[in-house]
Amino acid sequence: MSEPPTFGWLTRYAPLVDDLSAFLEAAARPLPRVIWSNPLRAPVAETEAELRAVFPALQPVPWRAHAWRLPADARFAGSRLHLAGRFYGQEEAAIFAGDLVDARPGERVADLCAAPGGKAAQMAVAMGDRGTLVANDRKVGRLNALRRTLDRLGVTCGVVTSGDALRMVAPEGWFDRVLADVPCTCEGTTRKARSRTEPTDERYRASVVQIQTAILRKALRLVRPGGTVIYATCTYAPEENEGVLHAIHPSLAAIEPIDVPAGLRVSPGVDAWAGRSYRADVVNAARLWPHHNDTGGFFVARLRRL
């Protein structure tokens, strides 16, 4: 029997965490399963009652309505309720990012890196399936999963597109809101099955940062003045998080404070790392550490185009 992976290389982030041993222990534990009810298919109260009959271990997510936790080994993909699109399984930290978009009925919304489609579906639900949702992904092999997600959940306001986010064809300022959950080094995903177990190559990180910065700049061009861009990663590295935000000139976008729901613990963005200082408003970003909420690692920031 193989030994469980260890993540000692995450000690790189010792200066940022309040409890290093708790952080490392949490990073190695299996991730709880989380599901949320889909009101496009059925009333949430009806779905909850049926879910409780099928999954006795169901526990409410403390900070998010109509979302529940299940044990890490729970299996639900073949269940009748799942196949009928009554609920969706999604990583808890990712749900927070999707909710922050705050999409509203009738708006134009884009998800630049959308597959497998959980956050796009969240936005469609928040829009009441009214408006225009563009769900884009560069990897052709992931488009089927994206389409299946939106179809299964009954989303009709969404269109799936395939292409590099940097080359999305849309008039400047056409969207009200844009989500840029960008490619990253995925250091916050160690709790998932078949996740990364090796330290990040710093040359690779440097190349990813260039892509992340370019996608964020593209997102800010796509959104209207006064519109919202949510920037998100599932990694801990300040180079990929606060460092990318710092690359955006303050005259182009403000990094706004985030309304954190009761029951969810977040840490602020860091204003300096490895001898480099960042623009002052990066502290308005939010970091989710796995030992604080029993989630994966995540970073999210809300920008308003000026």
Catalytic positions, please?
234
State the residue for tokens 């790392």: 273
Question: 83: exposed, middle or buried (C-beta count within 10 Å: 0-12, 13-18, 19+)?
Answer: exposed
DSSP letter for each residue of 76-117: -TTSHHHHTTSEEE--HHHHHHHHHT---TT-EEEETT-TT-
Whether 238 contacts 290, CB under 8 Å: no
